[in-house]
Structure 1
Amino acid sequence: MPRYLLAAASMLSLCAPAIAQERGADPSIAQSAEVYAARIAAIDDEQGLNAVIAYDPQPRAKAEAAAGSGPLFGRTVLVKDNIETREWPTTAGSLALADNLTGRDAPLIANIRRAGGVISGKTNLSEWANIRSNGSTSGWSAVGGLARNPHATDRNTCGSSSGSGAAVAAGLAWAAIGTETNGSITCPASVNGVVGFKPSVGLVSRTHVVPISSTQDTAGPMAQTVLDAALLLGAMAGADEADAATMGIPARQQDYTQGLADFSLAGVRIGVMRKQIGNRADLAAVFETALADMERAGAVLVDIEFEPDADMYEASFTVLLFELREEMGKYLRSLPGERMPRSLADLIAFNRANADREMRWFDQDLFELAERTTDRAAYEQARETAQRIAGPETLDALLAEHRVAFLVAPTRGPAWTSDLVNGDNFNGSIGFGSPAAIAGYPHLTVPMGAVERLPVGISFFGPKWADHEVLKAGAAYERARTAVLPRPSLRPWDMQAPEAAE
């Protein structure tokens, strides 16, 4: 890296904590926008991290203009490239939408700008948010290539908010926006060693966001700290008449940072999902340290033995397939311009016609299955089943039966080696994120340490609309955490010495 960029990176690392905590206008915030852009050029472009698809190389003027407004005061935000911004095309990683320059902001982006945020670029993602194929490799898109994990560049970023997680970990922006249908914020946040928050479905508008599911889709913040994630959530959330799910939210919170610094775990009952810790002794040891930290902070831990009803997963899969075809068609038909795809069938045809560039490593079996999933009565029954099991019969029942305020589990295991030939290598024994995703309940992941220098996170779950309380619990754990967190090496894992984590 050139010397001036090293100096800029060093300056950023020193001033970032102060920036994260400072709530007022600060000249260093505008200055940091310039540093972030330099880091994108040096780390993402020159070193091939592939976390960012497009960015503003000179964002300082925008940051200075926004520095007098709040609560973000000119802080830079990268945006997953399935969310529309007026400056750049919104591609969802696909060449089919390479020219999708709508000139419009999604409402959540407009909210961020009004709050003084600076949209500094678009991040790479798993193409079509990982819904195209069962054989996909997370973090790859035809537009952006393969995103790489800053902690080990031969390792995966998870998906589908791959570039957002990697960009925050590598210090390419103050924060980033991801989207989740089932694990797409929390998994990349965990394996990249950052905070990720999937809010209750309805807190954040989905208008002008490339969809999968009207039932489960939501955008959410990814940041270095829980405080930063809460600050960004407050900026992006809001009612939107074009998205019925956002209307009528009970007691909508305006400032999600309120009370985070003062919240105590003393006397708080927390359910520990023992069967969701997984089959890795090394991960279990890191998790036990996190539990011990919470106990020292006064939390009352309650062991829970539970196995989710398998019917929930089958029903949810039917919901996703049916809604993908319907919602994608609605979105595509809303796009301005000529010669744009207008249906899922059009996307399937495009991929076939461009198979050498789009389907070299994996097919589109899920797209094709969704195109055939047309039974509305079966869909409606599946939606009722999935929502009932995931919410009332799982999360609500566990919280009530064990008289706990929150549930916790490891988010995911450590990042696996990226392999475009063989696809992803998930460890399905770890984590408890699906019920919250399917029911639309809040899910927060916070870094809790590392396995072999690879980050892992701890997940906090609560009831629907308890987003503020979940964030407060995560912030309290963050203060109590004793684990030493790994720093991004920007090198392959096998080239790192064991002491690199210190």
Structure 2
Amino acid sequence: MLSSHHSIPLSLLRLPTLFLLIISTSSAFTIKEATVQDLQLAFKHNSVTSRKLVQFYLHQIRKLNPILRGVIEVNPDALSEADKADKERKATFQGRLPALPALHGIPILLKDNIASKDKLNTTAGSYALLGSLVPRDAGVVKKLRKSGAIILGKASLTEWANFRSSNMPNGWSARGGQGQNPYFPLADPCGSSSGSAISVAANMVAVSLGTETDGSILCPSSFNSVVGIKPTVGLTSRAGVVPITPRQDTVGPICRTVSDAVYVLDAIVGFDPNDAEATKDALKFIPHGGYKQFLNASGLKGKRLGIVRTPFFSFSNGSVIAEAFENHFRVLSQRGATLVDNLKITNIDMILDFTTSGEATAMSAEFKLSLNAYLKELVSSPVTSLAEVIAFNTKFSDPEMITEYGQDIFLESEKTNGIGKTEKAALFDMKRLTRDGFEKLMKENELDALVAPDIAISTVLAIGGFPGISVPAGYGHKGVPFGIFFGGLKGSEPKLIEIAYAFEQATKVRKPPIHQTKPSQ
């Protein structure tokens, strides 16, 4: 029951060891830190092929993943997908096919709660789902395949998207082990999309997908010095994603640059009949011509940015982070933004309290309903309900480390019985807190975005289904990264992208992990 019939474990991966960092023809081209645009240009000039790109990343995974644990498994068909992309590109250059999409031939990792109908598993990091068969590609994966992206494998995560236990460390799963921050081994990699962030930060893949219910894209992006976009709920399909709650779940890109994240976002947004209600409602937010048009280096001009000092800016005066943000405020202002400082969000303490806000109450009931529905749609699975997952964990307590980490969130969720009076009251409370708090603040002050250094802003955005972007902002004690967060109202991605891209281009804070600067052996 703990084995799979169709996966290739990373421990069995055998690859040639001689791959050069520099692949050149007429000019040198470095794969490490290369953006999607760089790669497409290299394809055009025949400086690299998709096959060489996949081989490079597979080599990086073989070399680094035993330590970093950012990848759970690789796609055994990745090289054949790369060959297909190379043939299509050659036909395009010869005029036999139309122009190719931005992600064509680009390897991407999927968080291991995003289904792919191929030889890869979809397990949310748990042995309970190992060997299960999904009925189809997740909606976002179908769109990625249409864009010509190469599915390189599955990224690790905090097991069950960090909704199994309140005691589980960020980045740990039974299948993946303990994910490690590539900048400092003892630093928190954050969760739950930890592997997606670790892998792109460490150059084990070009771009990746993560999911967020509350903080799971924004936090690992911040802690691993990469860019994460948490889209408005419904902008990207959740069909085929192991769920927590459709009210807050969203799928988004985690990449090294804002531009890369935007290219991925453009590929995955839009209507999906398998997530019809949410994606149809969000269609009105998608701009004609997509999001890449908002990659504007002058995008801060005329923007109004709000700053809520309490509780988000709680670090001590004179600290590295405090000084960094004062410098960032000056940059934002110098680039044309108006900063509206010392604002307050009504009832912010209640909003940030997982219990008093109603978030915990609602999510427990929603999780049980959503997970049971997901499991019943599987073609085959070792488990068909939350109750059976709990029983599986109890039976296989050693590999699932139940004694050490428990499954208290699962047990609380299993006690629920649908959306009753208590849950409806919790949902009402969150709507009221959102209306009187974040929405009122944004509208009354005519803000384009709220700026924050603290991952706590993710909860403000989560309970209202709002979008946010995290961009590298600096490196603190022992070189541990931190990010800057820009959050806005539903559908405000165009403004957020302009702001985030202009900030990134003005500061260019991101640097690769130190060990990544050494040549591969």
* Alpha-carbon displacement from aligned partner over 1:331-350 (angstroms, at most 9, x marks no partner): 0111112x521111111111
The counterpart of 2:390, out of the listed 341, 348, 353, is 348
Q: Does 1:361 align with 2:393?
A: no
Return closer, same or farther for 1:25/1:97 CA change in 2, 3 Å cut-off. Answer: farther
* Map of 2:3 onto structure 1: none
The counterpart of 1:485, out of the listed 499, 503, 510, is 510
In the TM superposition, what is the alpha-carbon distance from 1:195 to its structure 2 partner?
0.1
CA contact (8 A) 1:449 1:486 kept: no
* Alpha-carbon displacement from aligned partner over 1:53-89 (angstroms, at most 9, x marks no partner): 1113653324424645313121111000000012211
In the TM superposition, what is the alpha-carbon distance from 1:361 to its structure 2 partner?
2.3
* Map of 1:12 onto structure 2: 31
Q: Does 1:248 align with 2:281?
A: yes
* Map of 1:495 onto structure 2: none
The equivalences for 1:420-459 within 5 A come to 431-452=456-477, 453-459=479-485
The equivalences for 1:40-55 within 5 A come to 40-45=61-66, 48-55=67-74
Q: Does 1:188 align with 2:220?
A: yes
- Output the CA distance in 1 between the equivalents of 2:334 and 2:221: 26
CA contact (8 A) 2:191 2:220 kept: yes
Q: Which residue identity is paired with 1:356?
A: D
Return closer, same or farther for 1:26/1:95 CA change in 2, 3 Å cut-off. Answer: farther
In the TM superposition, what is the alpha-carbon distance from 1:406 to its structure 2 partner?
1.0
- Output the CA distance in 2 between the equivalents of 1:144 and 1:55: 12
In the TM superposition, what is the alpha-carbon distance from 1:262 to its structure 2 partner?
4.8
Say which SS state the counterpart of residue 151 (structure 2) adopts.
strand
- Output the CA distance in 2 between the equivalents of 1:203 and 1:153: 35
CA contact (8 A) 2:108 2:207 kept: yes
Return closer, same or farther for 1:71/1:21 CA change in 2, 3 Å cut-off. Answer: closer
Q: Which residue identity is paired with 1:405?
A: D
* Map of 1:472 onto structure 2: 498
Return closer, same or farther for 1:204/1:432 CA change in 2, 3 Å cut-off. Answer: same
CA contact (8 A) 1:24 1:73 kept: no
- Output the CA distance in 1 between the equivalents of 2:45 and 2:193: 30
Stretches of structure 1 lacking an aligned partner (at least 5 in a row): 413-430, 492-502
* Map of 2:96 onto structure 1: none
The counterpart of 2:131, out of the listed 76, 80, 99, is 99
* Map of 1:216 onto structure 2: 248
- Output the CA distance in 2 between the equivalents of 1:166 and 1:294: 28
- Output the CA distance in 2 between the equivalents of 1:470 and 1:146: 33
In the TM superposition, what is the alpha-carbon distance from 1:17 to its structure 2 partner?
7.2
- Output the CA distance in 1 between the equivalents of 2:375 and 2:242: 8
The counterpart of 1:382, out of the listed 416, 421, 426, is 426
* Map of 1:269 onto structure 2: 304
Q: After alignment, is 262-271 or 432-441 more displaced? A: 262-271
* Map of 1:297 onto structure 2: 335
The equivalences for 1:195-206 within 5 A come to 195-206=227-238
Return closer, same or farther for 1:128/1:66 CA change in 2, 3 Å cut-off. Answer: farther
Q: Which residue identity is paired with 1:488?
A: P
The counterpart of 1:327, out of the listed 370, 378, 387, is 370
* Map of 2:141 onto structure 1: 109
Return closer, same or farther for 1:7/1:241 CA change in 2, 3 Å cut-off. Answer: closer
* Map of 1:64 onto structure 2: 86
Return closer, same or farther for 1:16/1:309 CA change in 2, 3 Å cut-off. Answer: closer
Q: Which residue identity is paired with 1:86?
A: K
The counterpart of 2:413, out of the listed 370, 374, 378, is 370
The counterpart of 2:295, out of the listed 248, 255, 260, is 260
CA contact (8 A) 1:152 1:489 kept: no
Return closer, same or farther for 1:232/1:292 CA change in 2, 3 Å cut-off. Answer: same
Say which SS state the counterpart of residue 239 (structure 2) adopts.
coil
- Output the CA distance in 2 between the equivalents of 1:33 and 1:471: 29
CA contact (8 A) 2:313 2:452 kept: yes
CA contact (8 A) 2:124 2:157 kept: yes
CA contact (8 A) 2:21 2:32 kept: no
In the TM superposition, what is the alpha-carbon distance from 1:22 to its structure 2 partner?
4.7
Return closer, same or farther for 1:103/1:118 CA change in 2, 3 Å cut-off. Answer: farther
Say which SS state the counterpart of residue 119 (structure 1) adopts.
strand
Stretches of structure 2 lacking an aligned partner (at least 5 in a row): 1-14, 24-28, 93-99, 517-521
Percent sequence identity is: 34
In the TM superposition, what is the alpha-carbon distance from 1:2 to its structure 2 partner?
9.5
- Output the CA distance in 2 between the equivalents of 1:26 and 1:442: 37
Aligned Cα RMSD in Å? 2.4
Return closer, same or farther for 1:462/1:147 CA change in 2, 3 Å cut-off. Answer: same
Return closer, same or farther for 1:479/1:14 CA change in 2, 3 Å cut-off. Answer: closer
CA contact (8 A) 1:231 1:255 kept: no
Q: Which residue identity is paired with 1:85?
A: S
Q: Which residue identity is paired with 2:322?
A: A
Q: Which residue identity is paired with 1:296?
A: Q
- Output the CA distance in 2 between the equivalents of 1:294 and 1:471: 14
Q: Which residue identity is paired with 1:137?
A: P
* Map of 2:179 onto structure 1: 147
* Map of 1:405 onto structure 2: 448
In the TM superposition, what is the alpha-carbon distance from 1:173 to its structure 2 partner?
1.3
**TM-score of the aligned structures, taking structure 1 as reference length:** 0.88
The counterpart of 1:118, out of the listed 144, 150, 157, is 150
* Map of 1:165 onto structure 2: 197
* Map of 2:6 onto structure 1: none
- Output the CA distance in 2 between the equivalents of 1:21 and 1:393: 46
**TM-score of the aligned structures, taking structure 2 as reference length:** 0.85
Say which SS state the counterpart of residue 210 (structure 1) adopts.
coil
Return closer, same or farther for 1:82/1:15 CA change in 2, 3 Å cut-off. Answer: closer
In the TM superposition, what is the alpha-carbon distance from 1:5 to its structure 2 partner?
4.0
- Output the CA distance in 2 between the equivalents of 1:310 and 1:214: 25
- Output the CA distance in 1 between the equivalents of 2:498 and 2:393: 44
* Map of 1:428 onto structure 2: none
CA contact (8 A) 1:191 1:454 kept: yes
- Output the CA distance in 2 between the equivalents of 1:340 and 1:14: 40
